[in-house]
Amino acid sequence: MPHTTLSASGYDVRPLSDAEREQYAKDLSAEERQVILHQGTERPFCGTLLNNKQSGIYACRLCGLPLYKADAKFESGTGWPSFYQPLDPQHITEIVDRSHGMVRTEIRCARCDAHLGHVFNDGPPPTHQRHCLNSISLQFYATGVEPEQKTAK
């Protein structure tokens, strides 16, 4: 049995190999690849999950790791789905991003390294954070539906 590293919420967060990541990405569209694998950004107000109000979880489109609960979503007015906290902090990796003439914090999936968006310190209480995400990086699962987990072999 391979060694697993479980997050506090019970999910396997072992990093995927480059080959596994590429295998899971083989069916992504060109736009999905640009955003998820090459740190692109979808246009504001165009994402399919922006106005989603259903109860459930938002998982990584590439590997299925649950990232955000719907009850942490809020309307930021920015044009991208925004959340004030992740489902489990161990599911998110933060990277300082100095591109575009500013300093901001990029967020990626801890398991597959998929680009999710950025986190800012201008969100609502209790965290005052705004996790500003690309809809294209996420897959929504209604309450009672568990995403398929694509883990390291």
Q: Take residue 101 and report the two structure tokens written for it.
A: 């003439």
Q: Which residues lie across from 60 on neighbouring strands?
A: 138
Give yes or no: 132 in active site: yes
Pairing of the two strands 115-120 and 104-109: antiparallel
Nearest one of 47, 76, 75, 25 to 138, comparing CA atoms: 47
Q: How far is CA 22 from the centre of its chain?
A: 17
Residue labelled with tokens 């690849």: 33
Catalytically annotated residue among 60, 109, 112, 132: 132
Give the integer Cα–Cα distance in Å for 34 and 56.
26
Neighbours of 41 (CB within 10 A): 16
Give the integer Cα–Cα distance in Å for 15 and 119.
21
Enzyme catalytic residues: 132
